[in-house]
Amino acid sequence: MEPTLDVGQRVLVNRFLYHLTDPVAGDVIVFHPPIGAERGEQCGVPRVARRACARPTAIASEQNFIKRIVAGPGDTVSVVDGHPVVNGVPQTDEPFATLNACPENPACSLPVPIKVPPDHYFMMGDNRGASDDSRFWGPVPREWLIGKAFATYWPPKRIGVL
């Protein structure tokens, strides 16, 4: 999630918000990724060339990840030059995104769209050229979401809102 968050930075998470409202694109979320994501294993279905992973593995990992939602249930999503294209609209107004290493990274150009399944969310890290995210292991089921990160508290010089 660099540059939004530094490695080792601590966040506060609202675990109750999504009992009252739906997550939306742009939310920074703490969640359990599909099992295998923490070891760099990929996708719950065979991958199609030039396309993000369409389905996660069936079991959640015990690890906690933090990423940004870029697409929700029923949306179509592809990736062009490191930016998500949601329902055919390029999301290029992303001041938080770092595109370092994107031109050399094949995961920064996945122009064939996938459809996000019902009750799933497509996550991407802000450091697009170096993020292990839904492009590799698929959309995340809502039931695996822990909550919305809303503030940082450690280290003290980085205290702030997200």
The two tokens of residue 36 are 């295998």
Q: Which helix (H) or strand (E) holds 115?
A: strand 110-115
Residue 152 φ/ψ, nearest 5 degrees: -110, 145
pLDDT for res 66: 96
Per CATH, which fold does 10-161 belong to? Umud Fragment, subunit A (2.10.109)
Residue type at position 32: H
- In 3D, which of 8, 34, 59 has the Cα closest to residue 132? 34
Domain ranges of the chain: 10-161
Q: What per-residue confidence (pLDDT) applies to 79?
A: 95
What is this structure's pTM? 0.92
pLDDT band at 159 (very low <50, low <70, confident <90, very high): confident
Q: Which of 75, 70, 76 is nearest to 126 (CA)?
A: 70
In whole numbers, what is the pLDDT of the chain averaged over residues?
91
Q: Quick check: helix, strand or coil at residue 144?
A: helix
| Residues 79-119: tens digit of each pLDDT | 999 999 999 999 988 888 888 778 788 889 999 999 999 99
CA atoms of 18 and 56, how far apart (whole Å): 21
Give how far the C-alpha of residue 33 lies from the chain's centroid of Cα atoms, to the nearest Å: 10
